[in-house]
Chains A and B, each alone.
With several copies, the nearest count.
Chain A
Amino acid sequence: MSDLIIRIGGEGGEGIISAGDMVAEAAARSGLEILTFKSFPAEIRGGYAMYQVRFSKDEILSEGTGFQVFCAFNQEALDKNRSQLVPGTVLVYDYPGGDIAEEVKIEGVTCYALPMSKIAKKDLDMYRAKNMVALGALSFTFDIALESLKELVKEKFGRKGQAVVDVNLKAIDAGAHFMRDNHKKTDPYKMGSVAKTGKDVIIISGNEAVGLGALIAGCNFLSCYPITPATEVANYLAVRLPKMDGTLVQAEDEIASLANVLGASYAGAKAMTSTSGPGLSLMQELLGLASMAEIPCVIVDVQRGGPSTGLPTKHEQSDLFMACHGGHGDASRVVLSAENVSDAIELTVIAFNIAEKYQTPVLLLTDGSLGFRTESIKRPDPRKYSVVNRDRFKAGGNGDAPSKYLRYKLTASGVSAMSLPGDAGGAYISTGLEHSESSAPSFTPEDHARMSDKRFNKLASVVDFVPPPEVQGDGPADLGVISWGSTLGTVREAVNQARAQGLKVKALHPKLVWPLQEKQIKAFASTCKKILVPEVNKQGQFAEILRGKTGVDAISYPIYGGLPFSPKQILEKIKEVLK
């Protein structure tokens, strides 16, 4: 067995997330790859919470399709997942003595009753240990890192005293022993361990990855306003930025956040803000100012379900239109989107580098499921990233007398050296009005035309600055899949499967979504008979932009239920389109 998905469902607050994180870490220690998927209720208390972890001996590309094993902590969880308990799956459920009132029998599904509440309450006298009972049972039954798990319990609970360690270990054993003694294993799922030790591996979430990337890129200023599912980016940096002499402030709203960022960057900081859709909507006017005044800045949008307040804790990729086209006027900007957790580190660094190099706002789109999900990834080496800083004005070095510093000088690249307050001879007025080279207001047709050209032309080479989109598969194909963001991983997996089944399918994996790497996209499209664009939004936003920008005749495949794609969905669509 090289790949296994276990999902745990229950009431928010029952320790599902923390238990899941432990088994994931234990598995990673024993050399397995892991990728988790979490779903929280939109309310603070109560409501269905879900934790899923995928284990594999090989690289994991996505959340996968459904699960092999489902562990139900309560009736609601069981009900919500009932339709996915298809023949071949396994159910472990809290029975008897828990919230689930009746024994469960489902045709073709292996059902293991595990009285986890009862064991925790009666045998261990600690209801909170229910999650550990479940963990012990799952680890034992599916042969996942049971020993690593116990080691981890000792480390994690160590400082809380031996008694706490003991009761947790006992709970794990109780779960394991119950399974050993009461059920004959009839399902085929057994993970086992691997030779490699997992030493060079870290486990990190998408939101943390953005934070780490920012630190690597030299970010020293963040202003934020809390919003689900982006708050963890700020939470992470709130602890680390001040240690590196940086500044993190919580502003009165998102408008103030971006205004803080623009002020800080104007004064020389490498500044960013992190938000979700509603916040980005509020920032549109200031985004235009950043474009007009050519101020470097990074805006991270951890997308959630929209429109409006929408589905705050659900997954969606529906802010692309706004990211590329939001705000009045022709406002230049760059939009990147991350595929997975490693990518989130990498692209955050690239986002800062582009912001600095091109003196432009850069948006980085991730999404709720990527933000919350953790992955085991190769340990990054902070020194291996190249970091770019803005082209600075040097008195007299601008080709002009110091008194004639031209902040918006027309240059071949479109980028003009930027002075910082304090630079003698570099004074100018950063402005949202159209302006001449010297930054004085100017509304002549000539200045508006050439400054518009400057703002857009300087971005022309961004398409070369960002690595070209990866092509998966080669030769001519019957179908090419182009997608973006965290759907890319799912596409990779589906396309691997399709190709393994002999289908002539390829995929292109762009990370730069605005401006588009048109050359590569057209080249790719020219080798495919059809182009399919799966994405998680109603309107087929990327498909429309792709068509609009490149003329590529894209078949849009949008889903919009607040959940990511499964590889199976995409594979089936591929087959349907090829029929």
Chain B
Amino acid sequence: MTATAEVLKPKDYKSDIRPVWCAGCGDYGVLNAVQNAFAALKLSLYDTVCVSGIGCSSRLPYFLKTYGFHSLHGRSLPVAVGIKLARPELEVVVFGGDGDLFSIGGGHFPHVARKNSDVTCIMMDNHIYGLTKGQVSPTSTPGMVATTTPFGAPDTGSVNPLAYALTYGASFVAQSFSGNPKALSEIVQQAIMHEGFSYVNVISPCLTFNKIDTFDFYKDAFVDLPADHDKSNLVAALDKAFNPPAGKVYNGVFYETQRPTLVENLKKVNQKAKADKNRDLNEFVEEFAI
């Protein structure tokens, strides 16, 4: 994390591209909380890169003044990993939707998490495909009626993003709500401060296409994780992820631990390699001499 010298306010992180989201979209709250968190952490506009895939949520980087990479549907995580590996000093934050990160992009998530790539991933979970005008996403309630599932989706279960991230080995896993920008901003700050792969599941309702997971529904559903929750216990965290109190949704940090990051491990690889014989181009050519 590189802090900036000048003092920037949240609004200084906002670009002059006007958000294209529907009025009332949950993603506005995420944008606000992120600006807020960036300002609180004094992130540099130039040493921060916001990466995304495709979806309503994935448009977020355009609305910030930092560097950004609006990649392909599902590919934000491996793009972000490439950025971080090439330039470990950069702060790399990934934004995406539930479809982007857990449907088409779901094959990348486990490996980014288990390798503990030092990027922060903020998912705007609206339990729907917003940009393509309303199809079920992996986090949609089973049986949901949507455009490609007019008689109800046949999915028996849905993705539990928190449990997935925990099982994959993410070293920081938290959840918050776009309707509570203060709590969200705090969690985003913690996630960015965390060394290693951090994941924040943000409930961010789509009022246009999802009539189940609405602001109204979540307004009163959020409760903080119990004070005695042991953030260092993986199985306890999984239990909390799988079994929230009936009708409730947890806000807070489920899990946090310190593991070597991919960048750290690769540094060790390079050290070992350099201790080995043959170190430069001429020596490499010499290896082929007869």
Contacts and interface: CB of A to CB of B under 8 A. Distances in A.
Do A and B come from the same complex? yes
Interface of A: 25, 28-29, 43-47, 198, 201-204, 208, 212, 215-216, 221, 223-228, 231, 234-235, 238-240, 242-245, 247-257, 259-269, 271, 278, 285-286, 289, 308-309, 376, 379-382, 420-433, 440-441
A260 B76 CA distance: 10
Nearest to B68: A429
A249 B104 CA distance: 15
Would you list the 7 A-B pairs with minimal beta carbon distance, nearest first?
A263-B82, A259-B78, A242-B273, A202-B288, A43-B20, A260-B82, A429-B68
A231 B132 contact: yes
A239 B104 contact: no
Nearest to B47: A422
28 contacts: A25-B290, A29-B290, A212-B288, A221-B82, A221-B86, A231-B132, A231-B148, A234-B147, A243-B273, A243-B278, A249-B154, A252-B78, A256-B107, A256-B111, A259-B79, A260-B78, A263-B79, A263-B81, A263-B82, A263-B86, A266-B79, A267-B90, A286-B72, A380-B285, A422-B47, A432-B54, A432-B70, A440-B17
A261 B82 contact: yes
B148 A252 contact: no
A372 to B, nearest CB: 13
Contact of A421 (B21, B87, B273): B87
Interface string B62-82: 100111111111110011111
Contacts of A43: 20, 59
A52 B7 CA distance: 52
A259 B110 CA distance: 16
B87 A428 contact: no
B103 interface: yes
Contacts of A25: 290
B14 to A, nearest CB: 13
Given A28-B290, A243-B274, A422-B90, A44 B20 contact: yes
Contacts of A204: 288
B82 A223 contact: yes
Nearest to B262: A249
Contacts of B255: none
A278 B273 contact: no
A263 B290 contact: no
Given A198-B290, A202-B290, A428-B68, A422 B87 contact: yes
Given A261-B82, A278-B73, 14 more contacts: A212-B288, A227-B132, A231-B133, A251-B78, A256-B75, A263-B79, A263-B81, A376-B290, A421-B48, A421-B67, A425-B46, A428-B68, A431-B70, A432-B54
A268 B49 CA distance: 13
A352 to B, nearest CB: 14
Contacts of A264: 82-83, 85-86
Interface in B34-75: 45-49, 51, 54, 56, 59, 61-62, 65-75
A379 B289 contact: yes
Contact of A203 (B90, B129, B290): B290
A268 to B, nearest CB: 6
Interface string B83-112: 111110110000000000001101110110
B20 A429 contact: no
B75 A259 contact: yes
A418 to B, nearest CB: 12
Nearest to A235: B147
A469 to B, nearest CB: 28
A198 B290 CA distance: 8
A45 B83 contact: no
A374 B288 CA distance: 11
A215 B281 contact: yes
Nearest to A257: B78
B46 A421 contact: yes
Contact of B49 (A248, A251, A421): A421
A239 B147 CA distance: 9
Contacts of A244: 279-281
B181 interface: no
A423 B83 CA distance: 15
A308 B288 contact: no
Given A264-B83, A271-B86, A212 B78 contact: no
A568 B154 CA distance: 50
Contacts of A235: 147-148, 150
Nearest to A41: B20
Contact of A226 (B17, B135, B153, B273): B135
Contacts of B22: 44-45
Given A226-B129, A240-B284, A262-B79, A251 B90 contact: no
B169 interface: no
Contact of B62 (A224, A269, A379, A429): A429
Most chain A CB within 10 A, of B71, B82, B151, B272, is at B82
Most chain A CB within a 10 A radius of its CB, from B23, B67, B103, B107 = B67
A381 B48 CA distance: 40
A239 B61 contact: no
A221 B135 CA distance: 19
Interface in B236-287: 262, 266, 269-270, 272-274, 276, 278-282, 284-285
Contacts of A426: 46, 67
A349 to B, nearest CB: 12
Contacts of B233: none
A330 B130 CA distance: 27
B46 A239 contact: no
A256 B78 contact: yes
B78 A203 contact: no
